[in-house]
A and B are shown apart, each in its own frame.
Chain A
Amino acid sequence: MTFEWGTGKDNYRAREKLINKQFEDLHVTIRYTAFGTYVPKLLASFAGNMAPDLLYSMTGRDRLFISKGVFQPLNEFIEGPDGLDLNDFNTTVIREQMTRDGKVYALPQANNTLALYYNKDLFRQAGLPMLSETEPITWDQYRDLAVKLTRDLDNDGTTDQYGCVPGFDNVQPTYFFFVLNASFGGTAFSPDGTAAHFDSPETIAAVTWLHSLIYEAKCAPSPDFAQQMGAFFFPANRLGMLINGPWTGYELNQTAPDLEFGVAPLPYQPGHPRKNMIGGTAVGISSTAKHPDKAWKVLKFLVSPEFQKLPIQGLPGRISVMEDPEFVGLPYWQIFRAEMQHATSDFFIERYDEITTIVRQSGERILSDPTAKPRIPQMLREMNDQINALLRTK
């Protein structure tokens, strides 16, 4: 039996051993694919009749995989004698991302939200107090902090240390844009997911605010610049704040153990409810699996409390695990968990991957142009038209 694994390369062999220890009558081989190429490689394996029996899905991809027919429904197994109680999972995630026409296609392995990471050393150097772990700051307070953290270290007239980044890059992912938009009161898509709403006054306000970070407050680099700085930007003490998921804390602990960082709730916009996103990894049975009953046994183990207590790069998918006093999660995982109550996944529609590309392209065009401010409504209208044209195609 094969299991396509697309997250956390460092310990998948150990996981493979652990899975195989559980079952005497079957052998599971994990095929690891890097996160960035997971989707095309997985779909190519279906095209080449080499599809796995079990597979991972990740943030924003569940609906895509369901529409491509890579999963098979799990209802028969969930409701069967060897079934599972779905109430121990985040049922909103299952309903919004993993269910279609009443059929459940995957179950959450880990959940993710976004939070604000900050560099404690840089905060101390700028004379700033540490952030609260429970009370969020506003987006304007976030900008003020970013301005104070921005510095020209060698007095050569160019900025060497930034307060924050605008997103659309590998430092701060594009998820951030969708959450910021929601935070400013914007709605990405119509409820049926057939029309985009990125030309709304709320989205214009959110993007204008992002643009002002770079060219008015001058506390953030352009997305291109941040992209080139790379993932080491934050651990190298050249970036004060960063918005990302719980996996960032895991990676920082592995790659920069000496870095002193804190995590705070995601900022909010006064006058609007707090917003966040909920994504994560899920496991499903391939539509081509030859032995779905055996695959179900393995899937059940993969989403079991025992397996979810292992170090993972997100929050456990099981509520009982998160509530277990003996569970030791990622640093600050409770902050990410608290964010779940403000989280939505309504922008992870079927064509999220393709839409993200358009959003990144347009976002880069707007935020790389210092003179773009008066044209932001027009540029967002063009982006919206492009996304709507995409949504009209099959």
Chain B
Amino acid sequence: MARAAVSAYARYKTRSAWMFLVVPLVLFTVFRNLPLLIAFFVSLQDWDLAGNTTFIGFRHYRTLWDDANFRTALTNTAYYVAGTVPVGIALGLLFALALENRLVRMKALFRTIYFLPVVSSMVAVATVWNWIYNPVFGLLNSVTSSLGLGRYGWLADPQLALPSIMVMSIWKNIGYNMVIYIAGLKAVPESYYEAAAIDGASRWQSFFHITLPLLRPVTFFLVVMGIINSFQVFDQVYVMSQGMLKDSTNVLVFYLYHKAFNELNMGYASAIGYYIFIIIMAFTAFQFWWEKRR
């Protein structure tokens, strides 16, 4: 009797769980999984958006390896990821430590100021930075010129274009990394520092032996998310390089967009999308494996 009641209760709970799950599951399937599946089928075809489709198998995937623009985009994206993720995380930690310092006052105000760019639209921020970087009217060149350092084509010079976009991206995301680190810092028990101080540990020793190791899960999260987001960089490149396909700022998602919406080569663009997916998946899996191994 009791067993039957438990079983009925379990069935009721399972039914309730399914009832709650069914709506998000349907939405997720229709708007996430299905488009992913369709994109895979599109990647096996030549499709120009106007209805003319030809099945070509994995030809796009093979062609991509011989495509110099794709290799350039891959290299540029790797450069972007390598430049923005570590620097952004290091600066986020630095700002978090500075704001958590007992001597700093009006912490909430500073937190808001640093977090403001994170909640601002990337397009709006990139437009403002476009002005800052303008070679003749821009703020940055006014400063460098007044210091006798000359004027630079920040976004026009192929050597400076991508680093300039990276600086803007780092600036925009510092607030996000900082807030996550602040949450991590607040979770470190004060007693650990007190014990270390009693044992005669210096502030640097406390930082390297208590703070950093205890922030490792936070850092891991920021690295994983940072790499995933940086591999998908697009908005700022589109706005700041004015939609032109340049070697110096050609990144993967921008190249995908260009192939899809400028050249109307939907199959090829979908194949690029799948390569991006595989790369991000591989990086993320590697990071999880590495973290687990340690």
Check B51 for interface membership: any CB of A closer than 8 A.
yes
Given the known interface contacts A228-B135, A357-B263, the answer about A170 and B242 at a Cβ–Cβ threshold of 8 Å is: yes
Give the docked Cα–Cα distance between A229 and B243 (Å).
Answer: 14
Contact status B49-A225, CB under 8 Å = no
Check A256 for interface membership: any CB of B closer than 8 A.
no
Give the docked Cα–Cα distance between A224 and B130 (Å).
Answer: 13
Contact mask for chain B residues 244-265; partner A; CB cutoff 8 A; 1 contact, 0 none: 1111000000000010111110
| Min CB gap B72→A, angstroms | 11
Check B29 for interface membership: any CB of A closer than 8 A.
no
| Min CB gap B290→A, angstroms | 39
Contacts of B54 in A (CB 8 A): 394
| Min CB gap B180→A, angstroms | 34
Contact status B50-A69, CB under 8 Å = yes
Selected from B51, B130, B151, B260, the residue in CB contact (under 8 A) with A40 is B260
Check B48 for interface membership: any CB of A closer than 8 A.
yes
Given the known interface contacts A224-B153, A364-B244, the answer about A44 and B135 at a Cβ–Cβ threshold of 8 Å is: no
Contacts of B263 in A (CB 8 A): 353-354, 357
Contact status A43-B156, CB under 8 Å = no
Which residues in chain B, 155-200, are within 8 Å of chain A measured between CB atoms? 155-158, 161
Tell which of A152-160, A290-298, A318-326 binds the partner.
A152-160
Check A37 for interface membership: any CB of B closer than 8 A.
yes
Given the known interface contacts A39-B264, A228-B155, A354-B263, the answer about A68 and B50 at a Cβ–Cβ threshold of 8 Å is: yes
Report the interface size class on chain A: 35 or more
| Min CB gap A190→B, angstroms | 22
| B54 to chain A: closest residue by CB | A394
Selected from B48, B137, B241, the residue in CB contact (under 8 A) with A43 is B48
| Min CB gap A10→B, angstroms | 20
Contact status A47-B135, CB under 8 Å = no
Check B230 for interface membership: any CB of A closer than 8 A.
no
Given the known interface contacts A36-B243, A156-B150, A228-B135, the answer about A368 and B158 at a Cβ–Cβ threshold of 8 Å is: yes
Contact status A40-B264, CB under 8 Å = yes
Selected from B50, B130, B134, B158, the residue in CB contact (under 8 A) with A70 is B50
Contact status B145-A156, CB under 8 Å = yes
Contact status B151-A360, CB under 8 Å = no
Check A361 for interface membership: any CB of B closer than 8 A.
yes
Contact status A228-B133, CB under 8 Å = yes
Contact mask for chain A residues 27-62; partner B; CB cutoff 8 A; 1 contact, 0 none: 000000000110110011011000000000000000
Which residues in chain A, 221-236, are within 8 Å of chain B measured between CB atoms? 221-222, 224-225, 227-230, 236
Give the docked Cα–Cα distance between A353 and B261 (Å).
Answer: 11
Q: Which of A46, A156, A236 has the largest count of B CB atoms less than 10 A from its CB?
A: A156
Give the docked Cα–Cα distance between A156 and B241 (Å).
Answer: 27
| Min CB gap A368→B, angstroms | 7
Give the docked Cα–Cα distance between A70 and B50 (Å).
Answer: 8
| A43 to chain B: closest residue by CB | B49
Selected from A68, A156, A170, A236, the residue in CB contact (under 8 A) with B48 is A68
Q: Which of B51, B156, B158 has the largest count of A CB atoms less than 10 A from its CB?
A: B156
| Min CB gap A71→B, angstroms | 11
Contacts of A47 in B (CB 8 A): 49-51
Q: Which of A46, A70, A353, A361 has the largest count of B CB atoms less than 10 A from its CB?
A: A361
| A162 to chain B: closest residue by CB | B136
Check A197 for interface membership: any CB of B closer than 8 A.
no
Contacts of B247 in A (CB 8 A): 361, 365
Contact mask for chain B residues 100-135; partner A; CB cutoff 8 A; 1 contact, 0 none: 000000000000000000000000000000100111
| Min CB gap B103→A, angstroms | 42
Contacts of A238 in B (CB 8 A): 136
Contact status B150-A158, CB under 8 Å = yes
Given the known interface contacts A225-B153, A227-B156, A228-B153, the answer about A40 and B261 at a Cβ–Cβ threshold of 8 Å is: yes
Contacts of B157 in A (CB 8 A): 224
Give the docked Cα–Cα distance between A352 and B18 (Å).
Answer: 54
| Min CB gap A358→B, angstroms | 9
Give the docked Cα–Cα distance between A357 and B263 (Å).
Answer: 8
Selected from A43, A221, A357, the residue in CB contact (under 8 A) with B245 is A357
Selected from B137, B155, B158, B262, the residue in CB contact (under 8 A) with A357 is B262
Contacts of A68 in B (CB 8 A): 48, 50-52
Contacts of A225 in B (CB 8 A): 135, 153, 156
Which residues in chain A, 330-373, are within 8 Å of chain B measured between CB atoms? 353-354, 357, 360-361, 364-365, 368
Contacts of A224 in B (CB 8 A): 153, 155-158, 161, 246
Give the docked Cα–Cα distance between A230 and B138 (Å).
Answer: 12
Selected from B130, B150, B245, B261, the residue in CB contact (under 8 A) with A360 is B245
| A69 to chain B: closest residue by CB | B50
| Min CB gap A46→B, angstroms | 6
Contacts of A360 in B (CB 8 A): 244-245
Contact mask for chain B residues 209-248; partner A; CB cutoff 8 A; 1 contact, 0 none: 0000000000000000000000000000000011111110
| Min CB gap B238→A, angstroms | 11
| Min CB gap A278→B, angstroms | 24
Contact status A227-B244, CB under 8 Å = yes
Contact status A236-B137, CB under 8 Å = yes
Selected from A36, A46, A364, the residue in CB contact (under 8 A) with B51 is A46
Given contacts A70-B50, A357-B245, A394-B46, 20 further A-B contacts (CB under 8 A): A37-B261, A40-B262, A43-B48, A43-B49, A68-B48, A69-B50, A69-B51, A156-B145, A169-B244, A222-B153, A224-B156, A225-B156, A228-B130, A228-B156, A229-B134, A236-B137, A354-B263, A361-B245, A364-B244, A394-B54
Report which A residues bind B (CB closer than 8 A): 36-37, 39-40, 43-44, 46-47, 68-70, 154, 156-158, 160, 169-170, 221-222, 224-225, 227-230, 236, 238, 353-354, 357, 360-361, 364-365, 368, 394
Which 6 pairs between the two chains have the least Cβ-Cβ distance? A224-B156, A68-B50, A43-B49, A40-B261, A225-B156, A158-B151
Q: List 28 A-B contacts (CB under 8 A).
A: A37-B261, A39-B264, A40-B49, A40-B261, A40-B262, A43-B48, A43-B49, A43-B264, A44-B49, A47-B49, A154-B145, A156-B145, A157-B150, A222-B156, A225-B135, A225-B153, A225-B156, A228-B154, A353-B262, A353-B263, A354-B262, A357-B258, A357-B262, A360-B244, A361-B245, A364-B244, A368-B158, A394-B54
